[in-house]
A and B are shown apart, each in its own frame.
Chain A
């Protein structure tokens, strides 16, 4: 039996903005190929935690390791190299509004690959077909629904075939059918490509579909962790309130 390798390790992470302490000693561990759902109410520091993993925010204290590299100590060039192995799905999609879907994906691909224009277009069309939007290439983000934007954002996040996918509320604001579609796509990524995923969510349906491990944050601390069944059966009032 192979020893599981940790793809992401966060140790005792602290972060404050001014006097407001957001994270107070959070630790997270994600094995290669696993999917971890980080749950909790609003303002508990979930998104702040995720942004630390790609160096968008610097920690006040603690360590962040991704693929054996300490993110908080990398120089700009090494950090950018690491970022190419991480796909990030933003809460609102963060698609570039001035570009079509095809341009959004090509923008990333053109700068980080040596593919010819024809090869890039083929890869882009493959990616948008993979998220079940094969005819969206010429559309602008403003012309799409929330669910479609999320799927295109997912296609952009994985266009460089990353090893890790970070999702910030991948299903917030979507109808149940779209929640299932986006969650299924995240599951397929794990099955087909063995991607390690950390997803911030307060959507139970999404967490149930994608997660094999859950972490519950409360007031900047890890209140509980385990499988979703373990979290659901906890008698802690906050967890009971969350899982209803």
Chain B
């Protein structure tokens, strides 16, 4: 219990350092763009496949159940609401927590044990700013964009499945899907993934940045980053959904 509290405190202090460094020069724009590319374009295929799979499976599973209640017609509404409001943001963030959380922790951990972070430090190159601030900002920006990509592909997957099963007209599908969505739902659900991106990346950076030892410890840091990052996404989601209910109602 003491160890857990110590870790929570240390991660909070690490996040505090991030905010302290965020608006200080130099701004490392070139590295930020490189990290956005690493985070975004290299995760895109994974996110698209995940989204497509979610859409198809959700459509297949729900059709039978809705048909039993004579409510098959509301399938597009149900699909859009569940994908955009909850499944898209959370599944995208969990998939990215696996890929990016582990990747960031392993990369920074390797840099630590091979003294590359010390080399940055002794060359007066501000490693925290260069390595941590850029990675966290990249995740904060790219998580929502990847979530939008996941949502769109999930809806397309759902439509494709509906088309094969019931020859549903695409205009009807689109009309129905978007009639039940409010702008606030879309904006809030997408924006909350910035918070998930922040949590996943700050935990990944923290796990890797302070690794001591060798390759075994780097592996453990990567695993810890995925586990803690994923748990934080789920806990933060509960809080964010509660907040959205307070702000925007059901």
- Please tell me the number of chain A residues within 8 Å of chain B, measured between CB atoms: 20
- Is B247 part of the binding interface, using a Cβ–Cβ cutoff of 8 Å? no
Q: List A contacts of B114 (CB < 8 A).
A: 92, 94, 97
- Is B246 part of the binding interface, using a Cβ–Cβ cutoff of 8 Å? no
Q: Are B115 and A94 in contact (CB under 8 A)?
A: yes
In the docked arrangement, what's the CA distance between A100 and B111, Å? 16
In the docked arrangement, what's the CA distance between A172 and B123, Å? 22
Q: Are B118 and A56 in contact (CB under 8 A)?
A: yes
Q: List B contacts of A42 (CB < 8 A).
A: none
Q: List A contacts of B119 (CB < 8 A).
A: 88, 90, 94, 96
Q: List B contacts of A92 (CB < 8 A).
A: 114-115
- Which B residue sits closest to A81, measured CB to CB? B124
In the docked arrangement, what's the CA distance between A94 and B114, Å? 6
Q: Which 3 A-B pairs have the closest CB atoms?
A: A80-B124, A94-B119, A94-B115
- Please tell me the number of chain B residues within 8 Å of chain A, measured between CB atoms: 13
Q: Are B115 and A90 in contact (CB under 8 A)?
A: yes
Q: Are A108 and B115 in contact (CB under 8 A)?
A: no
- Is B116 part of the binding interface, using a Cβ–Cβ cutoff of 8 Å? yes
- Which A residue sits closest to B119, measured CB to CB? A94
Task: With both chains docked as a complex, state the minimum distance between the C-beta of A110 and any C-beta of chain B, in angstroms.
Answer: 10
Q: Are A83 and B124 in contact (CB under 8 A)?
A: yes
In the docked arrangement, what's the CA distance between A86 and B122, Å? 8
In the docked arrangement, what's the CA distance between A97 and B110, Å? 10
Q: List B contacts of A81 (CB < 8 A).
A: 124
**With contacts defined as CB atoms under 8 Å apart, how many contacts are there between chain A and chain B in the complex?**
42
Q: List A contacts of B121 (CB < 8 A).
A: 54, 56
Task: With both chains docked as a complex, state the minimum distance between the C-beta of B78 and any C-beta of chain A, in angstroms.
Answer: 45
Q: Are B122 and A88 in contact (CB under 8 A)?
A: yes
Within 8 A of B (CB), among A29-76: 51, 54, 56
B residues near A (Cβ < 8 Å) are: 26, 110-111, 114-116, 118-119, 121-125
- Which B residue sits closest to A91, measured CB to CB? B115
In the docked arrangement, what's the CA distance between A168 and B58, Å? 59
Q: List A contacts of B110 (CB < 8 A).
A: 97
In the docked arrangement, what's the CA distance between A149 and B121, Å? 19
- Is A84 part of the binding interface, using a Cβ–Cβ cutoff of 8 Å? yes
Q: Are B26 and A111 in contact (CB under 8 A)?
A: yes
Q: Are A108 and B122 in contact (CB under 8 A)?
A: no
Q: Are B125 and A111 in contact (CB under 8 A)?
A: yes
In the docked arrangement, what's the CA distance between A81 and B116, Å? 20
Q: Are B116 and A83 in contact (CB under 8 A)?
A: no
In the docked arrangement, what's the CA distance between A142 and B124, Å? 25
In the docked arrangement, what's the CA distance between A194 and B118, Å? 26
Q: List B contacts of A83 (CB < 8 A).
A: 122-124
- Is A112 part of the binding interface, using a Cβ–Cβ cutoff of 8 Å? yes
Q: List B contacts of A54 (CB < 8 A).
A: 121-122
- Which B residue sits closest to A108, measured CB to CB? B123
Task: With both chains docked as a complex, state the minimum distance between the C-beta of A18 and any C-beta of chain B, in angstroms.
Answer: 12
In the docked arrangement, what's the CA distance between A56 and B121, Å? 8
Q: List B contacts of A107 (CB < 8 A).
A: 125
Task: With both chains docked as a complex, state the minimum distance between the C-beta of A117 and any C-beta of chain B, in angstroms.
Answer: 13
Q: List B contacts of A95 (CB < 8 A).
A: 116
- Which B residue sits closest to A84, measured CB to CB? B124
Can you name 12 A-B residue pairings with CB atoms under 8 Å? A54-B122, A84-B124, A90-B118, A92-B114, A94-B118, A94-B119, A95-B116, A97-B110, A97-B114, A108-B123, A112-B123, A112-B124
Task: With both chains docked as a complex, state the minimum distance between the C-beta of B31 and any C-beta of chain A, in angstroms.
Answer: 10
